[in-house]
Amino acid sequence: MRKLVFQFLLLCAICIGLVPVSVHAQSLLVVNQGDTNVSVVDAVAAKEVATIAEKTTGVHGHEVAVSADGHTAFVPIYGSSGVGKPGIDGHEMLVIDLGSREIVGDIDFGHGVRPHCAVLDPASGLLYVTTELDKTVTVLDPRTRKIVGSVPTGQEESHMLVLSHDGKRGYTSNVGPGTVSVLDMVGRKTVAVIPVSGQVQRIAISTDDKSVFTADQTKPQLAVIDTATQKVKTWVALPGTGYGTAATPDGRWLLVAVPSTNQVAVVDLGSMQVVRRVDVPSTPQEILIRPDGKIAYVSCNTSGKVAAIDLAEWNVQKVIAAGKFADGLGWAK
């Protein structure tokens, strides 16, 4: 009887907000540039359950990374504009406790660096963030929240970062220069700079680490870089200019956001050809594939929504309302 009374009281406390509901059981985080906040989405219900205000003035975040235990989110505050455009330069990264849904600290880079893409390396436990104006990737210890080093990229506008699965190699897409920097993350140095196009955007890596992908912004095509030779190996024709990309865990497919056609193009990594297209809400940006490989989440910027694509049926299973100019995505397990 006492157990039933306790359970009833606990349920009532949760309902009125005295006990916070845990976000660690499959939550999707969405960074909303226009609203200057982060949506917390219940991935099972496919519904926004909370928003976390960034509490910044005139500047906003674009991307988010989540700690290995799922308790903490890191949101770099990029600035007031887009890459290569004039505006206020961000200088900090917010630290969010996902249990309380509160900002519990910030990491200050000391000057304007336009911090953008944060990536956690499971192998080393380190957190990396692109710091564009310094032409570096800054290295942080997420436990102490201290800067512990940097890796030079040798290029302007090093916007996005992807790591090899062992954490030893990093690759940045350098937007304006149209290049990809190859980084030694252990030795913390630039290994190579690969010419790609007049301008590139976003970057992804194959599950076997043999290929890196970045979208040409001057033509509707995707560059496929051979990580062994550090050269562009081939090009994949796209239905429109590509943007965010992500490979499925089984290594068979690469999903490419195509904002101009409001679609996600699916590339067969065996034939290196687009084999299907999935219609999504307007202006798809970033793609995050759920760890179980069953669902791909696609932030759709101007619509303020996230499309959940069923990767078995290849259709949009759910459309989730997020915030204005939904962009970066993170997964809290």
Report the distance separating Cα 287 and Cα 247, nearest Å: 9
Quote the tokens at residue 63: 């991307």
The single-letter code of the amino acid at 111 is: H
Residue from 267, 257, 278, 263 nearest 327 by CA: 257
The answer to whether the Cα torsion of 272, 278, 279, 282 is positive or negative is: negative
Give tens-digit pLDDT for 66-110: 999 999 999 999 999 999 999 999 999 999 999 999 999 999 999
Pairwise CA distance, residues 282 & 182, whole Å:
33
Q: How far is CA 138 from CA 108, 141, 148, 256, 274, in A?
A: 12, 10, 8, 27, 35
pLDDT digit string, tens, across residues 201-241: 999 999 999 999 999 999 999 999 999 999 999 999 999 99
Structure confidence by residue, pLDDT tens digits, 96-149: 999 999 999 999 999 999 999 999 999 999 999 999 999 999 999 999 999 999
Structure tokens at 91: 């200088």
Mean pLDDT of 168-184: 98
CB-based contacts of 326, cutoff 8 Å, min separation 6: 30, 31, 32, 33, 39, 285, 299, 300, 301, 303, 304, 305, 306
How far is CA 185 from each of CA 136, 153, 163, 326, rounded to the nearest angstrom?
12, 11, 9, 30
CA-based nearest residue to 284, from 266, 304, 311, 268: 304
**pTM for this entry:** 0.92
- Structure confidence at residue 25 as a pLDDT band (50, 70, 90): low
Residues 6+ apart with CB under 8 A from 240: 220, 258, 259, 260, 261, 263
Residue that is written with structure tokens 């179980």 in the block: 292
